C-alpha cells in the first residue's frame, strides 16, 4: 500500500511540475529570466552569459521566424509596460542560410504561433521590423533601407513598437508599427534562428541593456542609474555600478576613482572595489552635476544650489574633502572647467536673464563675461594646452559645439549637423572631443533634459565627421562634465532605467 501511495505521489508531483508554465521552470541567464526553444526544433539551443565581458552567446536552430508560426531559440525576460532594449549583435561565421537571423523580440507567449514583434538582422544583411499582430496571424514587416546593422534597439510605447538600427558609429535608422497589442506583460529578449531545421547557428551580443523608461515624464530625476565605462577605440561598454536612484556626471580622478553626485552629495567611486563612499563637502550639500576636477587632480570645483543667493553657487574643495570655499557671489553659476594652470574657472552664468560663459579667478574675484550672443551659451571647458575654451551654443537655432580663445575672441563653430550637441570634453592628450547629442525631434535646442534617446559622439579636435560611440537612454547627468580617463582611452558616463530591471548580475565578475 505504501508503494502505491509513493507512486501516486510521485506521479502527482510530476504532473504538477508539467502543468507549471515553461517560463517558471527556466533558470536565469545574466539579466534574463530564462531561455527556451520556441516551436518544434530539431536541435536544442543554448544561451550563455560571460560575466567577465558582460557578453551573451546564443546558439539555435529552427526553420524560420515568419508566416503563422516561429521556430528559434529565445533568451527572455518578463517585462510589464514600456521598455527600451539595446545591444550590439553579430552572427558568427559565414553560416548556411542567408536568412539566419538575430535580434530582439517581444511576444505574448512562448508558443510558436504567438503574436510578436521583432527587430531582426539577417545573415545577408537584411534588417527589418517584423510583427505578427494576432496569435496565428500572418507575419508582416517594415524593412530598413540600410543593411547589415550591428546595433539593434527595440522599444515599446503602449501598442507602438519602434526599431532603431545602425552600423556602429552611425546614427539610428528608425522603423515602427502601431496597434500591436501584445498585452501588458510580455516575453522580451534576444533570439537566434538558423532558417534551416538541420543547422545550428551562433550569435554574440554585447552591451546588452534593458531599460524601463521614466513613467512620470516631468523632468524630475528619480529613476535608477548605471555607471558605465566606455572604451573609445572599439565602443565596448562595461557597467561598473548600478544604483536604484539618480547618480550623475562622473569625473575621473588621477588615482582611478570616479566622482559623481547623487541627491546633493558627492561620491568617490573606487573602480577596483566597485564601492562608493561619500566625499566630505562640509555644509555644502546641495551639489548638482556641474562639478569638475582641476587639471592637477588636487582640487574639485562644485556647483551647489543656494536659494538665498539666486541658485547654483561655485565652490572649491580639496579632492580629499573638507569645507568648500565659495567662489561666485551669486547664482545661477554652473561650473564646467578649470584653466590648465588652475588659476581660473569657467562657468555658465545667468546674469540679466541671459545665460553666457564667464571666467572667474579660482581664488575668487571679479567675473569676466566671455560670450554675449543671444541665446544659451553653456558647458565651457578649456583644452589641455590652454589655447581654447570649448562650449555649446544655440545662437544659430540649433545647439552646436563652439570654441574660442581664453579671452573670448575668435568664436567659431566646431559642429554643424542635424543633432543638438552639448558638453564637449577634450581628451587629456588633446586629440579628441567627446560630447552628448540629443535628437531634434525630442528636445528643443536650449534644453538638455534627462531620459531621452541620446548619443555620445567622438571627433578629432582637428575636425571631421563625428562618430557615435555610445547609444543610450539618458541625457541630463549622463556626461555633463569632463569624464575622460587620464590615459585618454576611456570615458565614464551614466545611463538610466527604472530600478526594477537593474540586476547585480550586470556587474558580476568571474
- pLDDT of amino acid 20: 39
Q: What are phi and psi of 25, to 5 degrees?
A: -95, -5
- Residue 351 scores a pLDDT above 80: yes
- Residue 15 scores a pLDDT above 50: no
Determine the average pLDDT of the residues in 165-188.
Answer: 98
- 389 part of a folded domain: yes
Least confident interval from 20-24, 214-218, 306-310, 344-348: 20-24
DSSP collapsed to 3 states, 281-292 = CCCCCCECCCCE
Residue 44's domain comprises 27-211
- 6 part of a folded domain: no
- CA 346 remoteness from chain centre: 28
- 109 part of a folded domain: yes
- Residue 4 scores a pLDDT above 60: no
- 471 part of a folded domain: yes
Q: What percent of the chain has pLDDT over 90?
A: 90
- 18 part of a folded domain: no
Determine the average pLDDT of the residues in 229-248.
Answer: 96
Q: What percent of the chain has pLDDT over 70?
A: 93
158: left (phi over 0), alpha (psi -120 to 50) or beta: left
Please, are residues 129 and 55 in contact by the beta-carbon 8 Å criterion? no
Q: Can you give the CATH number for the domain in which 327 is found?
A: 2.120.10.30
**Same domain assignment for residues 95 and 198:** yes
**Same domain assignment for residues 308 and 196:** no
Q: Which of 147, 176, 211 is the last residue of a domain?
A: 211
**Same domain assignment for residues 229 and 377:** yes
Residue 2: pLDDT band by 50, 70, 90 thresholds?
very low
Determine the average pLDDT of the residues in 279-290.
Answer: 98
**Same domain assignment for residues 182 and 283:** no
Q: What are phi and psi of 22, to 5 degrees?
A: -55, -40
- CA 18 remoteness from chain centre: 40
- pLDDT of amino acid 507: 41
- 8 part of a folded domain: no
- Residue 7 scores a pLDDT above 90: no
- Residue 16 scores a pLDDT above 60: no
**Same domain assignment for residues 366 and 453:** yes
Whole-angstrom distance, CA of residue 60 vs CA of residue 204: 12
257-to-268, 277, 351 alpha-carbon distances in Å: 6, 11, 35
Whole-angstrom distance, CA of residue 156 vs CA of residue 307: 40
Residue 217: pLDDT band by 50, 70, 90 thresholds?
confident
Q: Which of 176, 211, 246 is the last residue of a domain?
A: 211
**Same domain assignment for residues 189 and 268:** no
**Same domain assignment for residues 451 and 364:** yes
Burial state string for 14-23 with b = 16 or more CB within 10 A and e = fewer than 16? eeeeeeeeeb
Determine the average pLDDT of the residues in 110-116.
Answer: 98
Residue 386: pLDDT band by 50, 70, 90 thresholds?
very high
Whole-angstrom distance, CA of residue 290 vs CA of residue 10: 64
- Residue 492 scores a pLDDT above 90: yes
User: What's the angle, vertex CA 171, arms to CA 169 and CA 174, rounded to 5?
Assistant: 135
Determine the average pLDDT of the residues in 358-386.
Answer: 97
Q: Which of 190, 211, 232 is the last residue of a domain?
A: 211
- Residue 352 scores a pLDDT above 90: no
Greater confidence (391 vs 9) lies with 391
Greater confidence (419 vs 502) lies with 419
- Alpha carbons within 13 angstroms on the beta-carbon side of residue 24 total 6
- Residue 12 scores a pLDDT above 80: no
Instruction: Write the pLDDT tens digit of every residue in 442-491.
Output: 999 999 999 999 999 999 999 999 999 999 999 999 999 999 999 999 99
- 485 part of a folded domain: yes
Whole-angstrom distance, CA of residue 467 vs CA of residue 456: 8
The end-to-end CA distance of the chain, in Å, is: 51
**Same domain assignment for residues 311 and 440:** yes
**Same domain assignment for residues 287 and 138:** no
Q: What is the pTM of this model?
A: 0.93
**Same domain assignment for residues 232 and 199:** no
- pLDDT of amino acid 91: 97
- pLDDT of amino acid 10: 36
**Same domain assignment for residues 178 and 274:** no
User: What DSSP line would sit under 136-175, residue for residue?
Assistant: T---EEEEEEEE---EEEEEEETTEEEEEEE-TTSPPEEE
**Same domain assignment for residues 111 and 237:** no
Residue 147, burial from CB neighbour count under 10 angstroms (0-12, 13-18, 19+): middle
Q: What is the mean pLDDT of the chain?
A: 93
Eight-state DSSP code of residue 505:
G
Q: Can you give the CATH number for the domain in which 147 is found?
A: 2.60.120.200
Determine the average pLDDT of the residues in 130-147.
Answer: 98
- Residue 278 scores a pLDDT above 80: yes
Residue 501: pLDDT band by 50, 70, 90 thresholds?
low
Whole-angstrom distance, CA of residue 304 vs CA of residue 281: 10
Please, are residues 260 and 247 in contact by the beta-carbon 8 Å criterion? yes
- 12 part of a folded domain: no
- pLDDT of amino acid 218: 81
Domain count, the chain: 2
Instruction: List 193's β-bridge partners, or say none.
Output: 101
Determine the average pLDDT of the residues in 65-77.
Answer: 97
Whole-angstrom distance, CA of residue 395 vs CA of residue 67: 52
Determine the average pLDDT of the residues in 141-163.
Answer: 98
Amino acid at each position: 500500500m505504501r508503494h502505491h501511495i509513493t507512486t501516486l505521489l510521485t506521479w502527482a508531483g510530476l504532473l504538477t511540475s508539467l502543468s507549471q508554465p515553461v517560463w517558471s521552470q527556466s533558470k536565469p541567464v545574466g539579466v534574463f529570466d530564462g531561455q527556451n526553444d520556441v516551436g518544434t526544433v530539431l536541435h536544442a539551443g543554448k544561451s550563455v552569459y560571460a560575466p567577465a565581458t558582460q557578453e551573451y552567446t546564443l546558439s539555435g536552430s529552427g526553420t524560420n521566424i515568419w508566416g503563422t508560426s516561429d521556430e528559434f531559440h529565445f533568451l527572455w525576460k518578463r517585462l510589464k509596460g514600456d521598455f527600451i532594449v539595446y545591444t550590439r549583435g553579430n552572427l558568427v561565421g559565414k553560416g548556411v542560410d542567408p536568412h539566419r537571423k538575430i535580434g530582439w523580440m517581444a511576444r505574448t507567449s512562448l508558443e510558436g504561433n504567438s503574436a510578436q514583434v521583432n527587430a531582426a538582422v539577417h545573415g545577408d544583411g537584411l534588417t527589418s521590423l517584423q510583427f505578427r499582430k494576432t496569435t496565428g496571424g500572418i507575419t508582416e514587416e517594415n524593412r530598413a533601407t540600410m543593411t547589415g546593422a550591428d546595433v539593434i534597439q527595440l522599444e515599446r510605447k503602449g501598442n507602438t513598437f519602434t526599431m532603431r538600427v545602425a552600423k556602429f558609429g552611425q546614427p539610428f535608422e528608425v522603423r515602427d508599427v502601431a496597434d500591436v497589442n501584445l498585452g501588458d506583460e510580455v516575453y522580451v529578449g534576444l533570439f537566434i534562428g538558423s532558417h534551416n531545421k538541420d543547422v545550428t547557428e551562433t550569435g554574440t551580443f554585447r552591451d546588452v541593456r534593458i531599460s524601463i523608461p521614466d513613467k512620470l515624464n516631468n523632468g524630475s530625476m528619480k529613476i535608477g542609474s548605471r555607471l558605465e565605462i566606455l572604451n573609445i577605440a572599439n565602443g565596448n561598454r562595461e557597467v561598473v555600478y548600478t544604483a536604484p536612484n539618480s547618480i550623475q556626471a562622473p569625473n575621473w580622478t588621477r588615482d582611478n576613482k570616479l566622482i559623481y553626485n547623487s541627491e546633493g552629495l558627492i561620491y568617490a567611486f573606487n573602480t577596483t572595489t566597485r564601492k562608493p563612499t561619500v566625499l566630505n563637502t562640509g555644509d555644502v550639500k546641495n551639489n548638482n552635476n556641474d562639478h569638475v576636477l582641476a587639471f592637477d587632480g588636487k582640487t574639485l570645483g562644485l556647483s551647489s544650489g543656494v536659494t538665498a543667493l539666486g541658485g547654483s553657487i561655485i565652490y572649491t574643495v580639496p579632492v580629499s574633502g573638507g569645507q568648500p570655499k565659495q567662489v561666485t557671489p551669486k547664482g545661477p553659476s554652473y561650473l564646467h572647467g578649470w584653466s590648465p594652470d588652475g588659476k581660473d574657472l569657467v562657468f555658465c552664468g545667468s546674469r540679466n536673464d541671459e545665460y553666457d560663459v564667464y571666467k572667474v579667478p579660482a581664488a575668487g574675484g571679479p567675473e569676466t563675461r566671455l560670450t554675449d550672443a543671444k541665446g544659451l551659451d553653456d558647458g565651457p571647458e578649456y583644452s589641455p594646452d590652454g589655447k581654447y575654451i570649448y562650449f555649446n551654443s544655440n545662437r544659430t537655432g540649433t545647439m552646436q559645439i563652439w570654441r574660442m580663445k581664453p579671452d573670448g575672441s575668435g568664436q567659431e563653430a566646431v559642429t554643424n549637423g542635424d543633432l543638438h550637441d552639448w558638453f564637449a570634453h577634450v581628451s587629456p592628450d588633446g586629440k579628441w572631443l567627446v560630447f552628448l547629442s540629443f535628437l531634434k525631434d525630442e528636445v528643443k535646442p536650449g534644453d538638455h533634459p534627462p531620459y531621452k534617446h541620446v548619443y555620445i559622439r567622438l571627433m578629432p579636435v582637428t575636425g571631421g565627421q563625428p562618430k557615435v560611440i555610445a547609444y543610450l537612454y539618458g541625457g541630463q547627468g549622463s556626461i555633463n562634465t569632463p569624464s575622460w580617463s587620464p590615459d585618454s582611452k576611456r570615458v565614464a558616463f551614466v545611463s538610466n532605467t527604472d530600478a526594477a530591471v537593474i540586476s547585480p548580475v550586470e556587474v558580476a565578475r568571474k
